């Protein structure tokens, strides 16, 4: 009977009681499939299985992203937060096992004796002690450890999410840079053409073939192209400054004249969006919300355990002797074992308030988790629709550019032989330039939307978080 009681007590000592409620992730309200399919029909890799280095095919953009992931200071701060959270978890988890201390002391003292003489006393001791160790019957220490572990994992996921945002920011800045360079080239070609037309209008005015109105209108078109050129150059400088802030290096030392332009194949790899339910496992922000939810759930267990007695044990063993040479003799062994219990009686409502706080925190984390799931679906849904709309818009704008090109050439030919006023040339030139600008913008937007959709699906494997 005694042995059975010892076994039962040992089992209780090891297992204890977990006061935390069962962890319940809020049920998902995601549909089974996305309502739009804006991906290629052929078999492609799912986004979650496609690392960013396989997704981004432009070697210069890949180099900029890699540099940003190495040099970005906000990312370095996120890495430091991971190390802090891991250290806090290890500190808390260490309380689940007894600490072991060793001590060695030696003392010599002297003083008068009752007989009028003097005496010298010595004491020597060597001990190994276990300081007061809480027996975690109610799971308080275990739940605090689990909460710290989940907070650490949430910090890891936060860094993963920030890594994805860095990838997206670098890609956006890069595509803005490339689009502005294409805009500069377009504005320069247009400016050269309009200067030639201005010279022709001047000659026709001086020859008495037209009035000064045609000349002034041609001059206005030149001024318009010059303004557009200045705006594109300003946008280019802003994109370079953004890349410099993201990477910490001069991007012009890396970015060469583009061999691939927006709208050309080969910029980004094709991918499949998968199913909405896969967002729960693939998006780091959702995984972070889930870990924070689990941490709050564990804190409730710790708050409930505070209502029960705290039981602790302590003990020591070693040797003590008045003579150093006899420290390890047979009769010098000493030991002690102690136990204590602390029962809370009155604390002015502190434990009750702590439990209410933990329950409110859990409710907050549940709401955050639900919102993270809703945001993920919205971003993915919007991204799929954007790609579908972009494809239609780019095709329409390409046709519009061709039509405007034909109109501009016809109007110019008719004007040069005197069959039409310069107003027709003016309207055609404006229409062509506007259509070309819109096409460039749509092509650049399409690339950015593809990156955003890839990121909204959780991106691919970014590699292990630094330890």
pLDDT of 194-228, one tens digit each?
787 777 777 767 666 666 777 777 788 888 888 88
Confidence at residue 276, expressed as pLDDT on a 0 to 100 scale = 84
What stretches in the chain show pLDDT beneath 50?
A: 1, 3-8, 10-15, 38, 41, 260, 265, 466-467
Q: Write down the pLDDT at residue 218.
A: 76
Residues 378-400 have pLDDT tens digits of 999 999 999 999 999 999 999 99
Q: How far apart are CA 362 and CA 354, in angstroms?
A: 12
So what's the architecture of 15-99+137-309+353-456 in CATH?
Answer: Up-down Bundle (1.20)
**The predicted structure's pLDDT at residue 146:** 92
| Radius of gyration of the chain from its Cα atoms, rounded to whole angstroms | 37
User: Of the candidates 174, 155, 177, 176, which has an alpha carbon nearest to the alpha carbon of residue 166?
Assistant: 174
Determine the Cα–Cα distance for residues 316 and 247; give it in Å rounded to an integer: 57
> CA-to-CA distance for 403 and 144, rounded, in angstroms?
69
| Residue 10 confidence (pLDDT) | 44
Q: State whether the Cα torsion 33-36-38-41 is positive or negative.
A: positive
Q: Supply the angle between the helices 140-206 and 422-456 in degrees, to the nearest 10.
A: 170
pLDDT (0 to 100) of residue 325: 55
What is the domain partition of the chain in residue ranges? 15-99+137-309+353-456
Task: Assess contact for 269 and 135: CB atoms under 8 A.
Answer: no
Query: Which of 144, 413, 417, 434 lies closest to 295, judged by CA?
Result: 144
Length of the chain: 467
The confidence score (pLDDT) of residue 331 equals 60
pLDDT digits (tens, 9 = 90+) for 146-197: 999 999 999 999 999 999 999 999 999 999 999 999 889 888 888 887 787 7
Is 234 buried (19+), middle (13-18) or exposed (0-12) by CB count in 10 A?
A: exposed
- Give Dmax (Cα) for the chain: 142
- What is the Cα–Cα distance from 424 to 408, expressed in whole angstroms? 8
């Amino acid at each position: 009977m005694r042995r059975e009681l010892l076994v039962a007590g040992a089992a209780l000592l090891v297992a204890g009681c977990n006061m935390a409620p069962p962890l319940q992730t809020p049920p998902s309200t995601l549909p089974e499939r996305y309502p739009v399919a804006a991906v290629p029909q052929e078999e492609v890799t799912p986004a979650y299985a496609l690392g960013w280095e396989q997704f981004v095919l432009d070697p210069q953009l890949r180099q900029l992203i890699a540099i940003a992931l190495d040099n970005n200071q906000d990312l370095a701060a996120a890495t430091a937060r991971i190390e802090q959270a891991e250290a806090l978890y290890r500190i808390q988890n260490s309380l689940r096992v007894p600490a072991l201390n060793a001590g060695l002391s030696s003392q010599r003292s002297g003083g008068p004796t009752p007989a009028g003489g003097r005496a010298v006393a010595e004491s020597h001791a060597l001990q190994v002690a276990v300081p007061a160790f809480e027996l975690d019957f109610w799971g308080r220490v275990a739940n605090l450890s689990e909460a710290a572990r989940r907070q650490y994992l949430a910090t890891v996921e936060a860094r993963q999410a920030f890594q994805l945002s860095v990838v997206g920011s670098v890609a956006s800045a890069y595509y803005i840079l490339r689009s502005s360079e294409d805009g500069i080239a377009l504005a320069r070609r247009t400016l050269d053409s309009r200067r030639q037309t201005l010279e022709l209008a001047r000659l026709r005015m001086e020859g008495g073939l037209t009035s000064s109105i045609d000349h002034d209108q041609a001059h206005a078109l030149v001024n318009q192209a010059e303004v557009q050129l200045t705006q594109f150059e300003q946008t280019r400088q802003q994109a370079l400054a953004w890349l410099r802030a993201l990477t910490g290096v001069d991007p012009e030392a890396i970015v060469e004249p583009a061999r691939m332009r927006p709208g050309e194949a080969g910029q980004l790899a094709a991918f499949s969006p998968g199913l909405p339910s896969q967002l729960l496992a693939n998006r780091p922000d959702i995984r972070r919300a889930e870990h924070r939810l689990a941490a709050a759930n564990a804190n409730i267990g710790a708050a409930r355990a505070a209502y029960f007695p705290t039981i602790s044990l302590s003990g020591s063993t070693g040797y003590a002797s008045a003579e150093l040479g006899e420290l390890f003799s047979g009769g010098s062994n000493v030991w002690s074992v102690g136990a204590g219990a602390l029962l809370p009686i009155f604390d002015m409502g502190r434990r009750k308030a702590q439990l209410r706080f933990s329950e409110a925190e859990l409710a907050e984390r549940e709401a955050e988790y639900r919102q993270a799931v809703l945001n993920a679906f919205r971003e993915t849904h919007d991204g799929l629709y954007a790609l579908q709309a972009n494809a239609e818009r780019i095709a329409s704008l390409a046709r519009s550019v061709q039509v405007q090109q034909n109109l501009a050439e016809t109007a110019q030919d008719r004007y040069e032989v005197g069959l039409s006023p310069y107003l027709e040339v003016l309207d055609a030139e404006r229409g062509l330039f506007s259509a070309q600008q819109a096409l460039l913008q749509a092509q650049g937007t399409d690339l950015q939307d593809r990156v955003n959709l890839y990121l909204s699906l959780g991106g691919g494997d970014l590699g292990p978080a630094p330890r």
